[in-house]
Amino acid sequence: MGVKWVRKTCAALMTVVLVLAMAPAALTQESSIEGTATVLDVTPPTITVNTPEGQWYSSNPLLDVDFADDSAVENCFYQVDNYENAQGWKPLTSDGSTVVGLNVDAPSFTANWYISTADWNALSEGSHTIYFKCVDNSGNVKEGSSPSLVIKKDTQAPSNPTASTQTPDVNVWTNDNTIDVSWSGATDQEGLSGVAGYYYVWDRSSATVPTTSDAYTTSTSVTSPPLADNDSWYLHVRACDAAGNLASGALHIGPFRIDTQTPAPSLLSPVNNVTISDSTPLLDWSDVVDPGSGLSHYAVKVDNDPDLSSPLIDTTTSTSSYPVETSLANGVWYWGVQAVDNVGNHSQWSSSSFRVWIEARLASSAWACARRDARNTGQSAYVGPADNAITWTHPDVAVWTSVALDVDNNIYFGSWDRLYSLNPNGTLRWSFPTGSPILTSPAVTEGGIIYFGCADGKFYAIRSDGTENWSYSTGGEIHSSPVIGDDGTVYFGSDDGKLYALDPEGTLKWSYTTADKIRSSPAIARDGTVYVTSYDGRLYALNPDGTLRWSHDTGTYIHSSPAVGADGTVYFAGDIFFYALNPNGTLRWAYLHGSYSYSSPAIGADNTVYFGSNNGRIYALRPDGSKLWSYATGGMVRGAPTLDSSGNVYFTSDDGMLRSLDPSGGLRWSRAIGKSPLHPVIASKMYVTSGSVLYAF
């Protein structure tokens, strides 16, 4: 049986009651026929408004209003502002335009509603009241001024801020990567919702406009997050009113230039852990390019403590090098460089160490090693003797090597079984016994240490008083005269086929193995390249760390020591040619003299090159390899020629003669001294060894 809700008058209600009382059987029969029970509904529906009162809207708002009734809700209406207008009621809509179809079978209706689009568009800016009306399925009506809802319309965008203050300021480099910004000047039309807050963005574009998905604040200031180093950071601020309207465009604040770090320099020279013989070295490092605020200066420290906490030198410079002006004592020194940029960022300290050993470098004497200097030029700074007059001799010793001089002009040379030291007048100072022949000319350091090799396979370092400082054993006899690098490293070869590099304390730095014995004296170019020849027929060019740069094969054993020109050209004799090689190892030229040569070359001030040949001649070659002149003797010229400061040439030959030629190759004088394969040494006197006699001219 169905139930029908009805709404009747009081008289009708009484009639129903009387019928039920007087004729229940008949009523039951009647009800059964009709199949319907009638229930009275005299209660109007209820209206509950859940949307907050007085809220601002920039578009037709979604209203949260619930309608309920004991029977069923039939229809829902609204009216804006004019409740007294009985004709003004309009159905609520579901989307602003479409009238909602109601579920008449439900006792309540809960939904979200809109007023019509036309009504919303017709509303003026400001406050408006919406009244609601509901009719249930029994015809009961709920209407009146309560409940109602006040909404506020604001569709006008506010203006953005017009001014800002910031710390640090725009377009100025700073190492503060958090920027504080405040702004002012944002407005909204009077009577509307007013500026409620701001959307903002930090980025590297100058024109970004924030959206509602960006950060939001109700404050008029923000602090940036930590910003990465860059020269174009901007803050973009966009005002928003209480109705949600966004201002057009944005206030763009910037650029902010952030620089929080500067690159550290790379230390170039002296390299780490090197031993140098310069007490006032030039400190050199890489140029730093600061991509931000730019480099201001470098801080430089030199200290004998690795943490640089108590520096002897603590200074600044705008260049990437610093010449040490305070003389450094012997010992280990640490140095560091720090880059400082224009906003005060300090890089990490780049630090390194070096050891100063003043006495270790080649002596600044007239003739400190076999061929006078590290390049083996054989060129003296003194004028040689004008005639063959002998000043003194030192006889009765088996002299096997040419002499070397210290800074006091004391004389050193090797013999059959000992090293001799003579005073400048030829008298004996001391001798150091070795028990084996000394086959190399000595090399003398600034501090008076004398280096030489011996047939017993040992390399010796002797103090200036004739006592042993240290010795180093190799695997073969040593015929190679030593040479000393600028950093005090001493180089020599051995019959074991190795070139050795020892530090001033006698510790092996490195060795390089060739395929045969080495009997030549090494030469050191100005760039630190070490050149040496080997009996395996090759000239080797080695880097300062002992690695091979290149080698040149002649095809036969080489006894001649190389010499290096001022331009880096390397000269040496081998097989039947005399060679000139470029610094990169390519052949510059080769001069055919037709015989083997033991002679090491000498290089003149004008780059004329001199050497002797087993064919009994001495040759002078122009820098392009053409012959300038040659001079014939009566025997092989095995010893190297020596040049004086005037370009005169001095040499010995196997015919037993010592000769002096002028720069054009003409004979100046000669003297018989006996067969000698050794070269003269020119200082304030000229010294020549032959057999058992040392001659001073």
What CA–CA distance (Å, rounded) separates 88 from 75? 15
Q: 637 has which bridge partners? A: none
Give CA–CA dist 492/509, Å, rounded: 12
Q: Which amino acid is at 649?
A: V
Question: Domains of the chain, with CATH numbers?
Answer: 2-40 (no CATH), 46-153 (2.60.40.650), 163-258 (2.60.40.10), 267-356 (2.60.40.10), 359-696 (2.130.10.10)
Q: Residue 613 is encoded by which pair of tokens?
A: 């040949």
Residue type, 200: Y
Quote the pLDDT of residue 510. Answer: 97
674 Rama class: left (phi>0) / alpha (psi -120 to 50) / beta: left
Among all chains, which residue has been given the structure tokens 């006792």? Answer: 107
Q: How many CB atoms lie within 10 A of CB 547?
A: 9
- Average pLDDT per run of 10 along the chain, which is 697 residues long? 43 34 37 54 89 94 87 86 86 74 55 85 95 88 89 96 95 96 96 96 97 97 96 97 97 96 95 84 96 95 94 96 90 94 95 83 93 96 96 81 94 94 95 94 93 97 94 97 92 98 93 97 96 97 97 94 96 95 97 94 96 97 97 95 97 96 97 90 94 90
**pTM of the predicted structure, to 2 decimals:** 0.57
Predicted local confidence at residue 692, as pLDDT:
83
pLDDT at 272: 92
Tokens encoding 374: 């590290």
Q: Residue 530: which of 559, 499, 503, 554 has the closest Cα?
A: 499
Burial class (CB in 10 A: 0-12, 13-18, 19+), 226: exposed
Instruction: Report the C-alpha dihedral over residues 355, 360, 361, 366, rounded to 10 degrees.
Output: 160
Spatial separation of the C-alpha atoms in residues 598 and 557, rounded to whole Å:
10
How far is it, in rounded angstroms, from Cα 105 to Cα 148?
26
Alpha-carbon distances of 274 from 145, 271, 280, 523, 557, rounded to whole Å: 99, 6, 15, 20, 34
Q: Are strands 468-473 and 295-303 parallel, antiparallel or unpaired?
A: unpaired
Other CB atoms within 10 A of residue 197 CB: 16
User: Which residues does 433 contact at the CB level (< 8 Å), separation at least 6?
Assistant: 417, 418
Cβ-Cβ contacts under 8 Å for 258 (sequence gap 6 or more):
173, 174, 175, 176, 177, 227, 228, 229, 230, 231, 233, 292
Both structure tokens of 206: 């100058």
